[in-house]
Amino acid sequence: MIDVISNHVFHLHNEKISYLFYVMQNGQLGHLYFGQKMDKLSDDDISYFLEQNSKSAGTVKYSPQTGNFNLSDRSQEYPVYGSSDFKEGAIDIYREDEPWYLDFKYDHHTVQTDKTRNLAQPATYAVGENESETLTVSLIDEAHQLQLDEKFSIFHDQSVIARSQKVTNLGQDAVQIHRMMSGALDLPNADYQFVSLDGAWLKERHIHSRPLEQGTVSVASLKGASGHQHNPFIALVNGNNLNHGEVYGANLIYSGNFLSQVEVDEWRRSRLLIGINPEYFDWLLKPRDEFETPESILSFSANGLNGLIAANQDFTVKHVIDRKWREQDRPIILNNWEATYFDFDEQKLLSLATTAKELGMECFVVDDGWFGKRNNDRTSLGNWQVNREKFPNGIGSFATKIHDMGLELGIWFEPEMVSPDTDLFRDHPDWVVRHPYERTSIGRGQYVLDFANPAVVRAIYAQMKPTIEETHLDYIKWDMNRNITEAYSQYLRTEKRPQTEFFHRYIMGIYDLYRMILTDFPNLLIEGCAGGGGRYDLGILFYSPQIWPSDDSDAVERLSILSGTTLAYPLSSFSNHVSAVPNDQVKRITPLQMRQNVCDFGPLGYELDITQISEEERRAIMQNISFYKKNRQLLVNGHFQQLMSVDPQTNTVAWGVYNNDRSEAFIGFYRKLARPNAGVLHYFKVPFLDAQLKYQINAEETVSGEILKNFGLREPYQFNGANEDTAQAVGDFQSFIYHLVAIK
């Protein structure tokens, strides 16, 4: 998968992609190509790639010895600002207040065929020696006594390159890293739409598109988490067709402050950079110290957004998420939150759990309120001891009753937070994130714990572990409801480290707590959550195979959230709960059929008072759960594609999942609002079907795959005021599920 040509051109390739770069005449690494695979390259091909004898106007020559060579118009692998290149660079290092214009020159390279999964830090992994190869190119800046190791990983049958960097201080003086990005990609033109996943609490990860123009466009977070407002993932899309056109994607295996940006220069060349946000980041690098960036993921599709969806989803489930979760069924959950909020006791929960078991659910999750004196959201965080008023016989006794019913048990934790009324807060004021001045912000009545301090992480785990052991816990919902303000660590002050290291050290502390839990309890399913979808990223998915995507469980809003999320993340990571109506977040009333038809795609759960529902609703839920269990593997782990527009403003949404040989598929069709006098006959194409097969639709009519691919699948008949006897979809908030099965 990795060819080294004449010791200075590197070709990473598989059956889907090629990635080429080379050692430029100044010793730095230059980028040549990333795109569809190219077969073995001839000497003439290489010469054609490398030829650039002219110099762009208005540029500065790199040195008196290099002729017309300059960096302003050269594509680079890890660009540096200021040495004839005036675009933003990937790395900035200072000594005290002196900026260094770095000059990393090729020294040597190595190739490695193993890539093991290590819980200490989220990163890609491979199983065995045939799934991946990693090229490490070591470069030295002799003048500044720095070594830069650039890592490039390619994976068998994946349209992805993973990149990371490590810098080592070989000198005698300490230096400061001001910026060190994880991924860079120089492209020869700017004929792309910049696509990002943006929004806010209750409306996360909506797809947003804008054209590239000269200048810089970016999305970022400074919240200490990847955030509700923006996601690290971005894409560059050439064309507006779901299934055609070149698309580049970039993502980050990281959960903290990030920057994802594209800069277009005066020649309409594009530079993509992604990594730790350099704002409020500075890292002290003492002699012989090293710093390693999180991994970035660069993906490519020649088949539009659906091609990118396929590339990102397949890669993430195989090389980021622990692969065992692909084989295990995700349990159907009842979460008590919207059924009870804080108003519950053991008997009320047991009543809910009994009904859940009767309906066919498999895991009962006790949400916020089981610990301390937690009867509202202003108390007891950091006191992870059971509330004896609610559980008079202890949490272990309750867990036994749940398990004896044949249900799994889940419990909610918010381990990163502390309330002012706890012993933890009073005994360890230095463990709280806050600056040493009189005024300090407070959010949701709580403060953030200093997870940059390893002692804090160990102390929180020491509280959590006995509960996990006592309950024989199956599932954790890990929440985080407050972003970081006035980032300041007493621990870093004591250690004489810069406060600008805090955000990165904090997120590494989060990963360390995950490591402790999963080392001791490797089969525990942890669902990530951050006030809903405020930390939906590859870093969390490395540890948590699914994430609560939004506190908004409204079925209509979830259409837009799921459409955006699945552009970058697998459907299996998208945790769904059927909730009550009027919906608690938007007060919208949608039919139970639509709520279930949306939630059936991905891990399924329920979050409503099922002891108060009607007999008709009980039957509908039981019927849906029976359907879901029968088809769970395909609905959770099937190949996912969008079939209509992914614009969040569109009125009609359709998506589908299909199995490996395309012999079976489920398609969800949704219309938000009815229109008067709607036409009867409308069709939408299903391009992922096999044209050589015939498909039976919902055990009724039989149609060829060729027709369904090229002409389309008929939409359900809409009520138009005159067809009440034949209409299949009536009123607002329509939904319809198609089951397509190939027949001989």
The residues annotated with a catalytic role in the active site are: 479, 551
Contact partners, residue 612, CB within 8 Å, separation at least 6:
none
Q: Structure tokens of 270?
A: 């594009």
How would you write 168-190 as a 3-class SS string? Answer: EECCCCCEEEEEEEEEEEEECCC
> What is the amino acid identity at position 381?
L
> Amino acid identity, residue 252?
L
Determine the distance from the C-alpha atom of residue 321 to the mean position of all C-alpha atoms in its chain, rounded to a whole number: 10
Other C-beta atoms lying within 10 Å of the C-beta of residue 742: 18
Q: How far is CA 495 from CA 247, 424, 629, in A?
A: 45, 22, 53
Among candidates 452, 459, 528, 524, which has minimal Cα distance to 492? 452
Q: How many CB atoms lie within 10 A of CB 372?
A: 18
| Residues contacting 1, CB < 8 A, separation 6+ | 12, 13, 14, 132, 133, 154, 156
Instruction: Give the closest residue to 380 by CA, choosing from 420, 346, 412, 413.
Output: 420
Q: Is 507 helix (H, G, I), strand (E, B) or coil?
A: helix
d(CA 299, CA 308): 7
Burial label, 523 (beta-carbon count in 10 A; 0-12, 13-18, 19+): exposed
Q: What SS3 class is residue 692?
A: coil
Q: Where are the alpha helices (DSSP H) in 222-322?
A: 304-319
**Residue 463: closest CA among 526, 417, 502, 399:** 417
CB 576 within 8 A of CB 598: yes
- What letter represents residue 454's amino acid? P
Q: Tally the C-alpha atoms within 13 A of residue 469's C-alpha that lie toward its C-beta.
A: 7
- In sequence order, the 6+-apart residues with CB closer than 8 A to the CB of 343 are none
Contact 710, 722 (CB under 8 A): no
Distance CA 326, CA 664 (A): 18
Residue 702's identity, in one-letter code, is T
Of residues 697, 632, 705, 629, the one with CA closest to residue 669: 697
Length of the chain: 744
Q: CA 119 → CA 34, 129, 513, 636, distances in Å?
A: 30, 20, 10, 25
d(CA 537, CA 516): 20
Cβ–Cβ under 8 Å, residues 207 and 564? yes
DSSP character string of 298-365: EEEESBHHHHHHHHHHHHHHHHTS-THHHHSPPPPEEE-HHHHTT---HHHHHHHHHHHHHHT--EEE
**What is the distance between the alpha carbons of residues 75 and 35, in angstroms, rounded to a whole number?**
15
Unique residue bearing structure tokens 């008929």: 714
Which SS3 state, helix, strand or coil, does residue 693 take? Answer: coil
